[in-house]
A = this chain, B = another copy of it.
Amino acid sequence: MNQLLTDKDDVVAGFFRPEIRSMQGYVPGEQPQGSTFVKLNTNENPYPPAPEVITAIAQAAGMGLQKYPDPLGTAFRNRAAAVLGVPPDWILCGNGSDDILTIVTRALVGPADRLRLPYPSYILYRTLAQLQGAQSEEVRFREDFSLAGEFSQSDPRLKLVFLPNPNSPSGTVIEPDEILQLADRLTCPLLVDEAYADFAECNCIDLVRRNPQIMVSRTLSKSYALAGLRFGFLIAQPEMIQFFRKVKDSYNCDALSIAGATAAISQQDWLRENRRKISFTRARMTERLRKLGFSVETSHANFVWCTHGSRPVQPMYEQLKAQRVLVRYMNYPGWGDGLRISVGDDEQSDSCLAVLESIL
Which A residues are within 8 Å of any B CB, using their own CB? Answer: 8-9, 11-13, 15-21, 23-26, 28-29, 31, 33, 39, 42, 44-49, 53-54, 57-58, 60-62, 64-71, 74, 95-96, 98-99, 102, 106-111, 113, 124, 131, 133, 159, 188-189, 212-213, 221, 225-230, 237, 239-240, 243, 245-247, 249-257, 260
CB pair A251–B28 under 8 Å, yes or no, is: yes
| Closest Cβ–Cβ distance, residue A327 to chain B (whole Å) | 15
The docked-state distance in angstroms from the alpha carbon of A60 to that of B49 is 13
CB pair B251–A96 under 8 Å, yes or no, is: yes
CB pair A61–B57 under 8 Å, yes or no, is: yes
30 contacts between A and B (CB under 8 A): A8-B212, A8-B239, A9-B239, A12-B237, A12-B240, A15-B188, A16-B107, A16-B108, A17-B109, A17-B110, A17-B113, A18-B110, A20-B107, A23-B246, A28-B68, A31-B68, A57-B57, A57-B58, A57-B61, A65-B225, A65-B228, A68-B228, A69-B228, A95-B254, A96-B249, A227-B251, A228-B254, A228-B255, A254-B256, A254-B257
Interface centre among A18, A212, A247 (most CB of B within 10 A): A247
Q: How many subunits of this chain does the assembly comprise?
A: 2
Given contacts A16-B108, A25-B245, A110-B133, 4 further A-B contacts (CB under 8 A): A12-B239, A16-B107, A28-B68, A254-B256
CB pair A44–B61 under 8 Å, yes or no, is: no
CB pair A98–B20 under 8 Å, yes or no, is: no
Partner of A20, one of B226, B243, B257: B243
CB pair A251–B239 under 8 Å, yes or no, is: no
Across-interface contacts of A213 in B (CB, < 8 A) = 15
CB pair B20–A252 under 8 Å, yes or no, is: no
Which 6 residue pairs spanning A and B have beta carbons closest together? A25-B246, A228-B255, A65-B228, A66-B225, A230-B254, A28-B250
CB pair A67–B227 under 8 Å, yes or no, is: yes
The docked-state distance in angstroms from the alpha carbon of A239 to that of B15 is 11
Q: A20-B107, A111-B133 are in contact. Are A230 and B251 (CB under 8 A)?
A: yes
CB pair B66–A228 under 8 Å, yes or no, is: yes
The docked-state distance in angstroms from the alpha carbon of A215 to that of B97 is 29
